[in-house]
Chain A
Amino acid sequence: MALKTVSSPLSPEIARSLRVGDQVRLSGRIVTARDEVHRYLASGGAPPVDLQGLVIYHCGPVAVQEKGIWRVTAAGPTTSMREEPYEARVIRSHHPGAIMGKGGMGENTLRALQSEGCAYLHLTGGAAAAVARSITRVEDVYLLEFGLPEAMWVLHVKDLPALVTMDSTGRSLHRDIERDSQENLQQILRRPFNSAEGT
């Protein structure tokens, strides 16, 4: 596993060079997008900021406004798989540098990562305070009509730790784990079970 320092927006070369297993320290400007923003973008809606090279983060933060300034108190990742119907189109239309979330994504997204030279960064689900601590600034928020969690937040982060779990070579750690655990499951299901065990 290599440790890589990455700045968002990512150059096409950096985005393409990331490999499954790379540990990343991410800094720079990122945007959040979850279900509503993805549906909006995939149906041709114009992004409020240019997404070229940026990290698109699947996250609905807890945010409070104090004296006109937004403060994010918790900002862990949400389940990325819900964006699977939209993500490939978003990647091909807007060329982000990386997609970031939790749980991994499916074959359509993986193909788009390959063709567009993009990577998927995995964060630990629920590690909301740790991620919030890496957020140095809330630059702005757009599409607030979708509600606070579903809006597009433009955030600045510093040294956010992430793991590359899908890459532009077509590798997916999630696919590997699912295949291996499927084999294990089939073996375990065939094991005889005695309900008196452990009594």
Chain B
Amino acid sequence: MFTEMMDETNLLSSITALMKKACTVLPDDVHRALSLAYAGERKDSIACETLGMILQSAALSAEAGLPVCQDTGVPLVFVRAGTVPDMSAVETAVRRSLKTLTEAGLLRHNCVDAVTGKNTGDNIGPHVPQIHFSPTDAAATVGVMFKGGGSENVSAQYSLPCPELDAGRDLDGVRKCILDAVFRAQGKGCAPGILGVCIGGDRASGFLIAKEMLFRRLDQRNDSPVLAGLEDTIVEQANSLGIGPMGLGGKTTLLGAKITAAGRHPACYYVTVSYSCWATRRAAVELDSDGRIAGWL
């Protein structure tokens, strides 16, 4: 037995606990944003009633340890680690945790064979789950997100310039694309939503980076003053569209927008919008060298 090998039993129970919390408990910053939105809507309006129902249901699931939403989504896992834990140990633990939680009725059967149409029944399939590793010298961290299909369906990627929106290759063009995506989503992505946005990148990296932005806390200010300003503008303007919770009208269409930028090819200017529903389910932990949870992030 190598001394640097992490205890696999610990690793498995840590990842299972991480996934269980992610799918049953709404993150505290999302919960706070929903409570504030509830207080801000006109009393007895459909928007107010809808947000009240959302808060009530989230409380019920957290209390009973039940899924926040019946669409328990598709798992997306980000791992930052040095040599410990090794990648194959993490992958094994992630797969085993998914099977365990599926059998326990906490994760719906959400992986369908794209050719035969058969459900694999255990949330495992070709290229599923997606696990992304990146190296770090710091302590190992694992983040997991369960992203629902409705919000995935309304996510969008734009290529600038976009004549239909009169959107050029600048931040005003970016703003127009993002607002168009929010308008097109209406209530179908389960508004009020949270946006992860990547400006630049390529067709593939744009979506991945946009999704990773959804891990940022809503109360975390963007380090870039320009992007922080754009985030504020997007939230304010989206909330004046009148789409509202579940698209039934109201002041709260977005809970937040998290925007970042990636280098781009001179010929390409993509704006990628990953729409996440109000039931944004994410959790992340730091692991100690024995594979135990050292802390929740």
B-contact 0/1 string along A65-81, CB 8 Å cutoff: 00000010111101101
Q: Is the CB of A125 within 8 A of B66?
A: no
Residues A26-79 near B (CB distance < 8 A): 36, 59-64, 71, 73-76, 78-79
- Tell yes or no: B145 within 8 A of A by CB: no
Write the chain B residue with the least CB distance to A62: B108
A147-B109, A147-B112 as given contacts; A78 in contact with B150, CB under 8 Å: yes
Specify which chain A residues have a CB less than 8 angstroms from the CB of B58 in the assembled complex. 129
A-contact 0/1 string along B245-263, CB 8 Å cutoff: 1111100000000000000
Specify which chain A residues have a CB less than 8 angstroms from the CB of B108 in the assembled complex. 60-62, 74, 148-149
A61-B70, A104-B247, A181-B243 as given contacts; A126 in contact with B279, CB under 8 Å: yes
How distant is the Cα of A63 from the Cα of B109 in the complex, in angstroms?
10
Specify which chain A residues have a CB less than 8 angstroms from the CB of B228 in the assembled complex. 198-199
- Tell yes or no: A13 within 8 A of B by CB: no
Inter-chain contact count A-B, CB under 8 Å?
188
A64-B105, A197-B233 as given contacts; A74 in contact with B246, CB under 8 Å: no
A-contact 0/1 string along B270-287, CB 8 Å cutoff: 000000011100000000
Specify which chain B residues have a CB less than 8 angstroms from the CB of A133 in the assembled complex. 60
Write the chain B residue with the least CB distance to A103: B188
How distant is the Cα of A195 from the Cα of B244 in the complex, in angstroms?
26
How distant is the Cα of A197 from the Cα of B53 in the complex, in angstroms?
36
Specify which chain A residues have a CB less than 8 angstroms from the CB of B278 in the assembled complex. 126
Q: Is the CB of B105 within 8 A of A73?
A: yes
Q: Is the CB of A124 within 8 A of B66?
A: no
Residue tally, chain A, CB below 8 Å to B: 54
- Tell yes or no: A87 within 8 A of B by CB: no
A-contact 0/1 string along B80-111, CB 8 Å cutoff: 00000000000000000000000011111110
Specify which chain B residues have a CB less than 8 angstroms from the CB of A126 in the assembled complex. 54, 57, 68-69, 71, 148, 190, 277-279
Q: Is the CB of B57 within 8 A of A185?
A: no
How distant is the Cα of A132 from the Cα of B148 in the complex, in angstroms?
18
Q: Is the CB of B56 within 8 A of A128?
A: no
Which of the 9-residue segments A90-98, A113-121, A171-179 touches chain B? A171-179
- Tell yes or no: B206 within 8 A of A by CB: no
Q: Is the CB of B57 within 8 A of A60?
A: no
- Tell yes or no: B127 within 8 A of A by CB: no
B273 to chain A, nearest CB (A): 15
Specify which chain B residues have a CB less than 8 angstroms from the CB of A155 in the assembled complex. none
B287 to chain A, nearest CB (A): 28
A-contact 0/1 string along B169-180, CB 8 Å cutoff: 011100110011
Q: Is the CB of B70 within 8 A of A197?
A: no
Specify which chain B residues have a CB less than 8 angstroms from the CB of A125 in the assembled complex. 69, 150, 187, 190, 246, 277
How distant is the Cα of A158 from the Cα of B132 in the complex, in angstroms?
44
Q: Is the CB of B61 within 8 A of A195?
A: no
Q: Is the CB of B50 within 8 A of A124?
A: yes
How distant is the Cα of A9 from the Cα of B58 in the complex, in angstroms?
30
Q: Is the CB of B241 within 8 A of A181?
A: yes
- Tell yes or no: B186 within 8 A of A by CB: yes
Write the chain A residue with the least CB distance to B186: A178
Specify which chain B residues have a CB less than 8 angstroms from the CB of A149 in the assembled complex. 108-110, 119
Write the chain A residue with the least CB distance to B62: A129
Q: Is the CB of B68 within 8 A of A124?
A: no
How distant is the Cα of A62 from the Cα of B279 in the complex, in angstroms?
16
A62-B108, A126-B279 as given contacts; A163 in contact with B46, CB under 8 Å: yes
How distant is the Cα of A153 from the Cα of B118 in the complex, in angstroms?
18
Q: Is the CB of B104 within 8 A of A103?
A: no
Write the chain A residue with the least CB distance to B172: A193
Query: When A and B form their complex, which 6 residue pairs have the shortest distance between CB atoms, in order from nearest?
Result: A198-B229, A147-B119, A64-B105, A74-B70, A127-B57, A130-B57
Q: List 7 A-B contacts (CB under 8 A).
A: A59-B70, A122-B248, A126-B71, A148-B109, A173-B249, A184-B242, A196-B229
- A residues neighboring B (CB under 8 Å): 36, 59-64, 71, 73-76, 78-79, 81, 102-104, 122, 124-133, 147-150, 161, 163, 165, 173-174, 177-178, 180-182, 184-185, 188-189, 191, 193, 195-199
